[in-house]
Structure 1
Amino acid sequence: MRFEALLGIDVGTSSCKALLLDPSSQVLATHSADYPVLNPHPGWSEQDPECWIAGAQAAVRGALSKCPGVKIIAIGLSGQMHGLTPLDKDHTVLRPAILWNDQRNADEVAAITEAAGGLESLLAQTNNPMLTGYTGGKIAWMRRHEPELYPRMRHALNPKDYLRLRLTGEVATEVSDASGTGLFDVRNRQWARPLIERLGIDPEILPPSHESDVITGRVSVEAAEAFGLEPGIPVVGGGGDAVIQTLGSGVIDPGDLQTTLGTAGILAAALDTPAVNPKGRVQVFCNIAPDRWHAMGVSLDGAGLLTWFQAIAGELADGAGNVTIEKLVERASKSPPGARGLVFLPYLSGGRCPHPDPHARGAFVGLTRRHGDADMVRSLLEGAVYGLRDMYDAMASLGLGRHRIVTSGGGTRSTLWRQMQADIFGCDVVTTDGAEAGGAMGAAMVAGIGVGIWADASTAARLRRTETRCSFNPELQETYTRMFTIYQSLYPLLRDSFTQLGHPGFDAGVAGA
């Protein structure tokens, strides 16, 4: 006997996840497939788009194998945002995709801002600054540095939209991912065509943009065979991962916050209007619901901070012990709140929000002989949360509420890290049954909205159930207020030093070059 399900596919930075969701919003199965990230030069981050396709095929087939007899009624797509996948007229990939965390195009970003008439003029046209992570700067970089390839580019797609092309043969995107290009008029939910033309970019290389719940194509016969699907299944627009995963967590109405501690650290909230972006310090995108917008701050380093420290600790252990993430978190629990006066600035990959600075660096501040490994690890965890709280302060003028935080990402498997969020923000922190699945859950839910399973995003979001809750401890408020105030003061003091340390000669190991 056959039964129906929705399929959500999330093209992440390090893996692709497929999720099957039944019409009552119960998860039937998930499956993931990993793939590598390429770092050919310091600050560069690239990926072979074929990895996404192979990963998606493995993830989909793996999920389907766990549910024999399932009938897929719609597919939704999610994926890492901002990446540039350049294609020629035959849809052949011209070069490895340039990813969201790539930092190579600072000069192009500055030139785009100047050509737009300055920051205020740019914000008037898009409601967002141009950041090094955004697709627009990557297009400009390719035009300047790869003149043999750039004239051949006929399509500039984000990662999930390249998967859509391979599934359906259709070139398309939707409003949330389009917002993250830096070339989109977020207020009016359309491409900022006058700006694009002013920058000398051919508007035709940008795909048609739809609302996120619109059916944008159907699975082709060729793709059906490659993915183990039936031909003709509708593929809904979907959403950029940082936006769509809020729906998967149950956050779509104003008042709640969502945090993500994955590779990146993200703070997000839904808005009723495209609020004015205060000095361009945050990101204001179109939400996946047509009557909602999305306010977001992003740190390039979230739970990845702990992975970085784990690698260092493993090298120092030299095989003498298994340095797991769980052991590191256990060590952090031995240090008191505030890490004995030790602060960590979480800028290992540069800054994004509220400090869009590719030269920003990570730093332990306050180290003394009395500090041990437990204090250092705890300061990493606290530093990631201070970064999220810093984003919240930058977004305060948007009128955000703070009723509760719904948290997600690998970092939130740790009760300690969830409790830190509650104590540093001063509100309850919960996880929901959809948060762990991230963008794949949101993609499946948007697919359901697109084919009429649920009336709208708010109806779908209410189906997510609370799994865990951490309430904040008022007795820690003074400690964390003092530590956070110190944290906020440090970047402005160190900014010039970070710029000097970002000289290419230092990265190359040639001091003073």
Structure 2
Amino acid sequence: MYLGIDLGTSGVKAMLIDADQRIVGSASGALEVSRPHPGWSEQDPADWIAATEQALDALMAAHPAALAAVRGIGLSGQMHGATLLDDGDKVLRPCILWNDTRSHREAAALDADPRFRAITGNIVFPGFTAPKLVWVKNNEPEIFAKVRRVLLPKDYLRLWLTGEHLSDMSDSAGTAWLDTGARQWSPELLAATGLEERHMPGLVEGTDAAGMLRAELAARWGLPGGVVVAGGAGDNAASACGMGTVSEGTAFVSLGTSGVLFAANGRYLPNPASAVHAFCHALPNTWHQMGVILSATDALNWHARVTGASPADLTGELGETLKPPAGVVFLPYLSGERTPHNDATMRGAFAGLGHESGRAALTQAVLEGVSFAVRDSLEALRLAGTTLSRVTAIGGGSRSRYWLRSIATALSLPVDVPADGDFGAAFGAARLGLIAATGSDPLTVCTPPRTAETIEPDTALSGAYGAAYERYRRLYPAIRDAMI
């Protein structure tokens, strides 16, 4: 048996798979986000451990024999979080999360230093880890002075599980401290933020063994001795391993809290001017590109809270047949945006409202706005040298066939829907645990699921969607100019 643990923003998910990669069981523990000020987003790392304990307790209650047969554990986690530890590995302050935008000025200052884009292959986004540390240095100097180690969220779980200070390449590529092409820390960039390599965890590939489960934890959940913990991956790279998106030209679109258009690459293809992330993949000698939007299902959930209806009821009101855009345009920048604007201070907007604009029209505009944001990412990937012929849809938003038809038509690409099953980050993490424990060939393990359905673009609406996308693109600079 093999165990995958995915530390997300809203919860921790633990999944058991057997040697044939059949899912035996899964369980989860809930998490909440603290937002003490506008633009801030934090969590207490102690809550990550408590949620993991909750998930593993539930697995032990439901599948004690399977849990006792675990030989490898893989980790996945929300990226970019700044978990700051003192010389006794005590947490110094709440972790500043990926969707926290307080360090936008610090990010802009680092990004103005040409070394960062040249070495990391990426814009320094406010959500990345390095500008968070500069913010702490500038605003909480007494905390910064005590920092002895900076860990990413899943790697804090690893420290608890194994006692090791280690991280993998895919997660570390989102810090703005990694030499992404060379797959190693950059002393030059660390020094630019007042840190040294000794403050960083050691680096391993996602498929490598990266510690052994501590004996007392193994005993607590009835696991055997000698359980290997894999390097693991950032959540998107782990999802790619779960989806089999590991070979050149394969891609998926994820409609989760944030939205991601993820493409696997056989070589390093940086183009920071396009605001695309160029990161190491979880497998050795592979990389990937990502266009990232900060509010995907979060935009629909916001609309649901405002209207007092459930997301499912809202999308259900639209029916099954894709409608032409009706003139209401929505910018889904509720937390700012990454690709393609790199704008932490921008906020969302509706435009084109009229007396006839009811709830369904606003819902349609929200779905189209996210679809057009994904189209922005596709255009940015094309500028970075990646050509896609199709994508696979994952994430909670992919349950809406209307939304997938909108995305397929906005991208002019077929969207594959996997057969029933859970192929997300926890499954990908379990696959990495299997590889680390057995030495299996990663490409043999990380295969794609069977496609249950393919949603083709609605060619009859291509012209209407194209025109609506151009209106969407023109709206950003107009709104941005008005906000300045």
Q: Same fold (TM over 0.5)?
A: yes
- 1:113-128 equivalences under 5 Å are 113-114=111-112, 116=113, 118=114, 121-128=115-122
**Contact residue 212 and residue 228 of structure 2 kept, 8 A:** yes
**Contact residue 339 and residue 375 of structure 1 kept, 8 A:** no
Q: Paired residue for 2:339?
A: 353
**Contact residue 263 and residue 301 of structure 1 kept, 8 A:** yes
Pair 1:451–1:491, CA change in 2 (3 A): same
| Aligned match for 2:143, one of 146, 149, 153 | 149
State the Cα distance separating 1:232 from its structure 2 match: 2.5
| Aligned match for 1:158, one of 146, 152, 174 | 152
- 1:205-244 equivalences under 5 Å are 205-227=199-221, 229-244=223-238
- 1:368-407 equivalences under 5 Å are 368-407=354-393
| Aligned match for 1:492, one of 457, 463, 477 | 477
Structure 1 unaligned spans of 5+: 315-322, 501-513
| Aligned match for 1:135, one of 112, 129, 133 | 129
Does the alignment pair 1:97 with 2:95?
yes
**Contact residue 251 and residue 406 of structure 1 kept, 8 A:** no
State the Cα distance separating 1:472 from its structure 2 match: 2.0
Q: Give a deviation string over 1:93-112, Cα, whole Å, max 9, x none.
A: 01110000000011211222
In structure 2, how many angstroms separate the alpha carbons of the residues matched to 1:212 and 1:133? 22
State the Cα distance separating 1:463 from its structure 2 match: 5.1
| Aligned match for 1:53, one of 35, 49, 71 | 49
Q: Paired residue for 2:406?
A: 420
**Contact residue 123 and residue 280 of structure 1 kept, 8 A:** no
In structure 1, how many angstroms separate the alpha carbons of the residues matched to 2:65 and 2:182? 43
**Alignment root-mean-square deviation, CA:** 1.7
In structure 1, how many angstroms separate the alpha carbons of the residues matched to 2:394 and 2:439? 25
TM-score normalized with structure 2 length: 0.96
Please state whether the residue corresponding to 1:212 is helix, strand or coil.
Answer: coil
| Aligned match for 1:79, one of 77, 80, 89 | 77
In structure 1, how many angstroms separate the alpha carbons of the residues matched to 2:4 and 2:83? 21
**Contact residue 117 and residue 272 of structure 2 kept, 8 A:** no
**Contact residue 320 and residue 401 of structure 2 kept, 8 A:** no
Does the alignment pair 1:184 with 2:178?
yes
Q: Paired residue for 1:469?
A: 454
State the Cα distance separating 1:226 from its structure 2 match: 4.8
In structure 1, how many angstroms separate the alpha carbons of the residues matched to 2:158 and 2:265? 28
**Contact residue 250 and residue 434 of structure 1 kept, 8 A:** no
Please state whether the residue corresponding to 1:267 is helix, strand or coil.
Answer: strand
In structure 1, how many angstroms separate the alpha carbons of the residues matched to 2:325 and 2:147? 51
The amino acid that maps onto 2:96 is I
State the Cα distance separating 1:276 from its structure 2 match: 2.7
Pair 1:156–1:227, CA change in 2 (3 A): farther
**Contact residue 74 and residue 236 of structure 1 kept, 8 A:** yes
Please state whether the residue corresponding to 2:190 is helix, strand or coil.
Answer: helix
Q: Give a deviation string over 1:41-80, Cα, whole Å, max 9, x none.
A: 0000000111111111111222333323110010000000
Does the alignment pair 1:11 with 2:11?
no
Over the matched positions of the two proteins, sequence identity in percent amounts to 37
TM-score normalized with structure 1 length: 0.90
Pair 1:225–1:375, CA change in 2 (3 A): same
Please state whether the residue corresponding to 2:110 is helix, strand or coil.
Answer: helix
State the Cα distance separating 1:294 from its structure 2 match: 0.9
In structure 1, how many angstroms separate the alpha carbons of the residues matched to 2:420 and 2:198? 37
Pair 1:435–1:196, CA change in 2 (3 A): farther
State the Cα distance separating 1:432 from its structure 2 match: 2.3
Pair 1:494–1:122, CA change in 2 (3 A): same
In structure 1, how many angstroms separate the alpha carbons of the residues matched to 2:420 and 2:87? 39
**Contact residue 127 and residue 280 of structure 1 kept, 8 A:** no
Does the alignment pair 1:410 with 2:396?
yes
In structure 2, how many angstroms separate the alpha carbons of the residues matched to 1:455 and 1:185? 26
In structure 1, how many angstroms separate the alpha carbons of the residues matched to 2:329 and 2:465? 11
**Contact residue 161 and residue 172 of structure 1 kept, 8 A:** yes
Structure 2 unaligned spans of 5+: none
Does the alignment pair 1:292 with 2:292?
no
| Aligned match for 1:264, one of 258, 265, 274 | 258
| Aligned match for 2:348, one of 362, 372, 386 | 362
Q: Give a deviation string over 1:237-275, Cα, whole Å, max 9, x none.
A: 000002221121121112222111111011110011111
In structure 2, how many angstroms separate the alpha carbons of the residues matched to 1:394 and 1:274? 16
Pair 1:248–1:384, CA change in 2 (3 A): same
The amino acid that maps onto 1:153 is V
**Contact residue 410 and residue 436 of structure 1 kept, 8 A:** no
**Contact residue 60 and residue 227 of structure 1 kept, 8 A:** yes
| Aligned match for 2:329, one of 336, 343, 346 | 343
The amino acid that maps onto 2:46 is E
In structure 2, how many angstroms separate the alpha carbons of the residues matched to 1:193 and 1:337? 53
Pair 1:435–1:381, CA change in 2 (3 A): farther
In structure 2, how many angstroms separate the alpha carbons of the residues matched to 1:435 and 1:162? 29
Count of aligned pairs between the two proteins: 482
**Contact residue 300 and residue 350 of structure 1 kept, 8 A:** yes
**Contact residue 116 and residue 176 of structure 2 kept, 8 A:** no
Pair 1:201–1:434, CA change in 2 (3 A): farther
**Contact residue 38 and residue 46 of structure 1 kept, 8 A:** yes
| Aligned match for 2:105, one of 61, 85, 107 | 107
| Aligned match for 2:276, one of 273, 282, 288 | 282
Q: Give a deviation string over 1:261-320, Cα, whole Å, max 9, x none.
A: 111011110011111314151100000111210100111101011111111112xxxxxx
In structure 2, how many angstroms separate the alpha carbons of the residues matched to 1:332 and 1:355? 30
Does the alignment pair 1:27 with 2:12?
no
**Contact residue 214 and residue 450 of structure 1 kept, 8 A:** yes
Q: Paired residue for 2:64?
A: 68
